[in-house]
């Protein structure tokens, strides 16, 4: 496949379950977003621990310790940050690392927020060094170092701020510096959701959308959603469309099978682009190893998108491995794509 054709060839397979751009679509659909810890399904151990830390902070009338959230996209990091603020009964202030351009941006926020505010910084791996250093002191001492004047007459003053809880989220924990990580008292690593939890999420969302989903349809939808609530919600909305236009409004297993086929989503929940990535490794690089940069160029993605949005699920599904020498596909990938592994050709 040539790069020039890529855009055309990507659609309609690239209708968006993994697309970062379409993340905004569900940010708008706030009705599906859990508001309280009880509605936040799955991730049981993480939730149970958090619930203890939240109760303890509330009882002591203190701000919750700083919280680090990491894991693949669409698993609920932003949602959990909001839930935590709500459970604590405190204000929620949200920004992202790229929006914090100058130290004064951070000072502007931290000097004006109310006591115990949950201050959420998304994409925390992208903080500028000057901002990050300022945060160290803010997190530890609830103070900010502010430089007044310039040149030899410049001096630093310390500005006290209200105690707050920093919630930092990232899909790239490996890119966060260890001094920053060490300042978070609580760390939550999101893994892909279990089958039962995905089913519960599908059922909850269907209830909110007032759509009937038959049991076997919920099971099928859950299994095709890459262990990712965002994907489940998006697939559910599409299936609701299919059910409405092609059926009688009820989401049945037949509707889901038909819908998934039309969206080119296979039994493992892979989209066309996922399969294309595997096929390119097999056909152009003999199954690997191939370096991330080379692969990203070959599949027409940035390294970031490849590493954050596509690979985690392919790895979890047992189709791809990251090795020090590069990416390799597994025998399961050959089997899934019905391709012969070199050396395993059937005798003529």
Ligand X SMILES: Nc1ncnc2c1ncn2[C@@H]1O[C@H](COP(=O)(O)OP(=O)(O)OP(=O)(O)O)[C@@H](O)[C@H]1O
* Residue ranges in contact with ligand X by CB under 6 A: 23, 26, 32-34, 40-42, 73-79, 171, 201, 229-230, 233
Task: Between 21 and 61, name the residue whose CB sits nearer to ligand X.
Answer: 21
Two structure tokens written together for 302: 């940035």
Enter the DSSP assignment of 251.
B
Binding-site partner at residue 76 among Mg ion, ligand X, none, CB < 5 to 8 Å by type: ligand X
User: Burial, 256: exposed, middle or buried (Cβ in 10 Å; 0-12, 13-18, 19+)?
Assistant: buried
Is 193 in a helix, a strand, or coil? coil
DSSP state letter for 30: G
Largest distance between two CA atoms of the chain: 84
The single residue listed with the structure tokens 């969302």 is: 205
Say how far apart CA 42 and CA 207 lie, in whole Å. 17
Provide the minimum distance between the beta carbon of 120 and Mg ion in the complex, in angstroms, as a whole number.
Answer: 9
Distance CA 326, CA 179 (A): 29
Q: How far, in Å, CA of 127 to CA of 133, rounded?
A: 10
Binding partner of residue 32 among Mg ion, ligand X, none, CB under 5 to 8 Å per kind? Answer: ligand X
Residue 97 or 161: which CB sits closer to ligand X? 97
Q: How far is the CB of 328 from ligand X (least distance, A)?
A: 26
Q: Report which residue's Cβ sits closest to Mg ion.
A: 78
C-alpha of 328 from chain center: 23
Q: How far is the CB of 195 from ligand X (least distance, A)?
A: 14
**Which residues participate in catalysis according to the annotation?**
77-78, 122, 171, 230
Identity of the residue, 190 or 334, whose beta carbon is nearer to ligand X in the bound complex:
190
Give which of ligand X, Mg ion, none residue 34 binds (C-beta under 5 to 8 Å, depending on kind).
ligand X
| 41 vs 206 by CB, closer to ligand X | 41
The footprint of Mg ion on this chain (CB under 5 A) covers a number of residues equal to 2
By C-alpha distance, which of 224, 190, 245, 195 is closest to 74? 190
Least gap, CB of 117 to ligand X (angstroms): 19
Partner in contact with 86, chosen from ligand X, Mg ion, none, beta carbon below 5 to 8 Å by kind: none
CB of 96 to Mg ion, least distance (A): 9
The DSSP code sequence of 41-98 is: -S-HHHHHHHHHHHHHHHHHT-PPPPEEEE-STTSSHHHHHHHHHHHHT--EEEEEGG
What, of ligand X, Mg ion, none, does residue 229 touch, CB below 5 to 8 Å by kind? Answer: ligand X
Q: Which residue is nearest to ligand X (CB)?
A: 76
Q: Taking a C-beta distance cutoff of 8 angstroms, is the pair 277, 284 a contact?
A: no
33 binds, among Mg ion, ligand X, none (CB under 5 to 8 A by kind): ligand X
Which residues, numbered 61-80, are part of the site for Mg ion (CB under 5 A)?
77-78
Smallest distance, Mg ion to C-beta of residue 121, A: 11
**DSSP letters for 276-294:** HHHHHHHHHHTT--B-HHH
165 binds Mg ion (CB under 5 A): no
Closer residue to ligand X, CB minimum distance, 185 or 191: 191
Q: Which residues bind Mg ion (CB under 5 A)?
A: 77-78
């Amino acid at each position: 496949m040539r790069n020039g054709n890529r855009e055309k060839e990507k659609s309609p397979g690239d209708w968006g379950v993994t697309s970062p751009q379409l993340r905004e679509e569900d940010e708008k659909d706030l009705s599906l977003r859990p508001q309280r810890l009880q509605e936040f399904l799955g991730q049981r151990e993480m939730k149970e621990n958090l619930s203890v830390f939240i109760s303890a902070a509330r009882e002591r009338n203190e701000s919750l310790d700083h919280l680090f959230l990491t894991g693949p996209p669409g698993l609920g990091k932003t949602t959990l940050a909001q839930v935590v603020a709500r459970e604590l009964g405190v204000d929620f202030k949200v920004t992202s690392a790229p929006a914090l351009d100058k130290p004064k941006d951070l000072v502007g926020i931290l000097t004006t927020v109310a006591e115990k505010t949950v201050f959420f910084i998304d994409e925390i791996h992208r903080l500028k060094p000057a901002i990050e250093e300022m945060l160290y002191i803010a997190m530890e001492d609830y103070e900010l170092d502010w430089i007044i004047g310039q040149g030899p007459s410049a001096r630093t003053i310390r500005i006290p701020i209200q105690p707050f809880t920093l919630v930092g989220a990232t899909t790239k924990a490996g890119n966060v510096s260890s001094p920053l990580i060490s300042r978070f008292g609580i760390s939550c690593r999101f893994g892909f959701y279990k089958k039962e939890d995905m089913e519960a999420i599908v059922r909850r969302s269907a209830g909110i959308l007032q759509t009937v989903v038959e049991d076997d349809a919920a099971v099928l939808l859950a299994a095709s959603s890459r262990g990712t609530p965002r994907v489940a919600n998006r697939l559910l909305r599409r299936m609701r469309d299919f059910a409405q236009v092609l059926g009688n409004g009820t989401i049945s297993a037949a509707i889901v099978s038909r819908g998934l086929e039309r969206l080119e989503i296979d039994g493992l929940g892979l989209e066309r682009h996922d399969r294309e990535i595997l096929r390119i490794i097999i056909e152009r690089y003999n199954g690997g190893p191939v370096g991330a940069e080379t692969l990203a160029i070959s599949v027409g993605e940035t390294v970031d998108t490849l590493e954050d949005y596509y690979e985690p699920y392919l790895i979890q599904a047992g189709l791809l491995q990251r090795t020090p020498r590069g990416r390799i596909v597994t025998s399961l990938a050959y089997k899934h794509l019905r391709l012969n592994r070199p050396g395993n050709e059937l005798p003529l």
